[in-house]
Structure 1
Amino acid sequence: MGTFMANYIQEIRALVGHKPIILNAAGGILLNDHQQVLLNLRTDTHNWSLPGGYLEYGETYAQAMVREYKEDSGIAVKIVRSLGVFDKGETRYPNGDVTQVICQLYQVAAVGGHTLDQATDETLDLKYFDFDQLPPLLNDQTAEMLAAAKQQLL
């Protein structure tokens, strides 16, 4: 991707500032052998979310899911199936950005890589959690996605 394509959201934010915008994202549910879900501790908000993220211009949800999951976790994944689209609520970031996120949630399976062994610019930590013992989450949408995944997968 060209520079503009790779920095699409930064380009939009440069134009609109912190004004609320709608963004598209993809998130993934990866379960371990104990039926626990992998979450990442975010550097920006210091709470937990599903590995995944915003689509860059020209990407599909599936392409963004695979790319973002690897960036956030170090794990290469393949999509097993769709778990639904989530579009309710908003997220307020510490820098003042406000978004309504439309997120395509997938069940994923690991096909390579390994969990990050050090912090990155987006992920401080990665851990598996029981669905009934979740840490502080990014937002209500993350909680809704985890509840839906629990209902569909367990």
Structure 2
Amino acid sequence: MTYGYIKKIRSLVGHMPIILNTSAGLILNDKNEVLLNLRTDTHNWSLPGGYLEYGETFAKACIREMKEDSGLDVRIIRPLHLFDEGDVHYPNGDVAQCITQLFLCEPIGGHLLDHVTDETEGLAYWPLDQLPPLLNWQQEAMLAFAREHLIKHN
């Protein structure tokens, strides 16, 4: 794999809108709360996940990003949905259409990060009907999908 792929692309095209492939993992605890990470770049919340590196699959990127963003080793239970609409505007001026594969995951090892990293300020489980300020509309769509398709309503 070639790490730093996105940085190399951005060095060539600047802030021009581009299409990027991303992967995200969804973990629910026994209370049906979702694990979110507080991002260092925007200081809001998102599902653990990120860009695919060149040569990486959506599944491998999800496993790698879950470890980087949360500290957890995960097993993918199943793909949930592919999200591919709209633009994401980043604080630095970058614009991208992110095509994100969302996976349902379960922890199989590791432990939640207990320190700040380059990408994660903190981690917390949140009720799906009481979410904090999210990174963007795509995060909202993924969590709405989870509410609709994964949670049993009485």
> What amino acid does structure 1 have at the position aligned with 2:86?
G
Asked if 1:21 corresponds to 2:18, the answer is yes
Q: How much does 1:150 deviate?
A: 1.4
- The TM-score, its normalising length taken from structure 1, stands at 0.96
- Within a 5 Å distance, the mapping from 1:102-117 to structure 2 comes to 102-117=99-114
Q: How much does 1:94 deviate?
A: 1.1
**How many positions carry a matched residue from both structures?**
151
Query: Which residue number in structure 2 is paired with residue 55 of structure 1?
Result: 52
- Structure 1 residue ranges, 4+ long, deviating more than 2 angstroms after superposition: none
1:122 alignment partner, one of 96, 111, 119: 119
- The TM-score, its normalising length taken from structure 2, stands at 0.96
Across the aligned residues of Structure 1 and Structure 2, the Cα RMSD in angstroms comes to 0.7
The 2-side partners of 1:40 and 1:80 are apart by 20
SS at the partner of 2:19? Answer: strand
Structure 1 contact 44–93 (Cα < 8 Å) conserved: no
2:132 alignment partner, one of 121, 135, 145: 135
Percentage of pairs with the same residue: 62
Q: Which runs of 5+ in 1 are unaligned?
A: none
> What amino acid does structure 2 have at the position aligned with 1:37?
V
The 2-side partners of 1:153 and 1:77 are apart by 18
